[in-house]
Amino acid sequence: MRKLSLLILGAAIGAGGATMVSQTSLLSGMSAIAASADTYRQLSLFGDVFEKVRTDYVEKPDESKLVESAINGMLTSLDPHSSYMDAKSFRDMQVQTRGEFGGLGIEVTMEDGLVKVVTPIDDTPASRAGILANDIITSINDEPVQGLNLNQAVDKMRGPVNSSVTLKIQRKEAKDPVVVKLTRETIKVRPVRARAEGDIGVLRVTQFNEQTYDGLRTGIEKLTSEIGADKVAGFVIDLRNNPGGLLDQAIMVSDAFLERGEIVSTRSRNAEDTQRFSAKSGDLTKGKPLVVLVNGGSASASEIVAGALQDHKRATILGTRSFGKGSVQTIIPLGGNGAVRLTTARYYTPSGRSIQAKGIDPDIEVLQDIPDELKGKDETKGEAGLRGHLQNGGDKEERGGSSAYIPPDPAKDKQLLAAYDLLHGVRKGAANTTMTPN
């Protein structure tokens, strides 16, 4: 049985299998042959159109681009998450899911057309070279950054390990630009950030890549040691604006807090391909209370974790309704020609819920105070707002997006503050037992 990596994505799902020959299957096979004949006629039509474009279009077209566009058009017509990735896009996706790459160790953003350093990552070439937050990168290897988009600038800073790159930096306090030559190293993305807030451990999970579970486990161990195992009041798992990632990592993160029971099931077109994933004994927090934060930007793998912990009453889900992406994509490599991202299954929470185009409703809804300039712009469309999304029980049962705003100042973050209050009000080892859900 062939195994393909799933993105939601991640664990493998079987493709193919044995079929028992019977009168029914023979008739089905004959229907399939008839359908195939009609399909081949349509493919012949495609060939005719392709040839006409190739020979008669006003300018000579790039034939490979024509084929790629046709493939992508076919896939994107299925649903918003199926697509074709060319070789470069496939490599970029692999870098993202591995969570490590050859680079400098700088988190950057685009501001007013300039690449601005958010922060250098500790113990990386950037931090050792003295690059600071708010530095403006004006050129990379003597090529001006102005005019590049953020992805293009990032691509230029990444590269083979042990290769060098020269950055020109404008620093607020300095009159003259600073020129820094750095040697690229293997940089690991930090998908989990851990910090203590008094007797509460806060674990901010930003994505589900290959490093997520290890980062979570390390974070829990660090916080337990820092606060003291007997003094920890509980943990906040912050999944807000986490777009998802690898399915196997979502399963492992859920399992980190569960002793037993189903975590998630995936169901494809063929019933025999249904898979169920269950927890193994061992709760990394030793039963400490949990609050999981979600909002309109929490999607996919984030919703698997929230749904599993909610169904098992292991955590209180707090915030606003999640995005509602309840499908699984399989990444199918095409040799050296990129890959196909194809929706192959829906997933269901332990209680059998499909959250497709519905999202997860929090146990306790807490709305942020939205700045006037962002009002009306803070809500995501949600899965239900995406054209061509998979249906789930009809439009009347579907739910749109919710606010995805998080205040930059933690002191004004009403959802985070509510999580602290909740944890300080629950008994040790309890989950959601002291507040009435909305």
- Catalytic residue list: 300, 311, 325
Q: Helices marked H in 99-196 — which ranges? A: 125-128, 150-157
DSSP, collapsed to helix, strand or coil, labels residue 335 as coil
- Contact partners, residue 309, CB within 8 Å, separation at least 6: 254, 257, 258, 290, 292, 315, 317
d(CA 13, CA 17): 12
The amino acid that residue 46 corresponds to is F
Judge contact between 291 and 349, C-beta under 8 A. no
d(CA 10, CA 251): 10
- Contact partners, residue 18, CB within 8 Å, separation at least 6: none
C-alpha triplet 8, 235, 280: angle, nearest 5°: 55
d(CA 248, CA 349): 15
Q: At what angle do helices 212-227 and 247-255 cross, to 10 degrees?
A: 30
